[in-house]
Structure 1
Amino acid sequence: MAARVIKALCIGCGVCTRMCPLGAISVQVKTASVDNALCDECEECIFACPNGAITV
């Protein structure tokens, strides 16, 4: 199961995109989005998110 974004908590800051080693996260319309095909569940984005908006 890939990471998923809790849209109500995401502010689109982009910290998760910079921390993802696989480039699986992008920010579109002020909300992060995870490409499930690229995500390997490393959880770097979870630790990086200042709002706790990403979960696995």
Structure 2
Amino acid sequence: MMLISEVRPELDAAYLADALLAATGAELVVHQLRDLGISRDRVLAGIDALVTGLDL
């Protein structure tokens, strides 16, 4: 959260930290890989897109 608020002080760092943690949580990632059949590359690309979209 501290990094987000330092780099992008105009953003709601607390909310974004929680959102990023939720999107990268082990339980969700395992569900995407095993249950949904999403490829590792696609999961990583999605996480990259989330972080890149924040322009950190």
Q: TM-score, normalised by structure 1?
A: 0.26
Larger relative contact order (CA 8 Å, sep ≥ 6): 1
Looking at secondary structure, tell me which structure has more strand per residue.
Answer: 1
Larger radius of gyration: 2
Bigger share in helix: 2
TM-score, length-scaled by structure 2 = 0.26
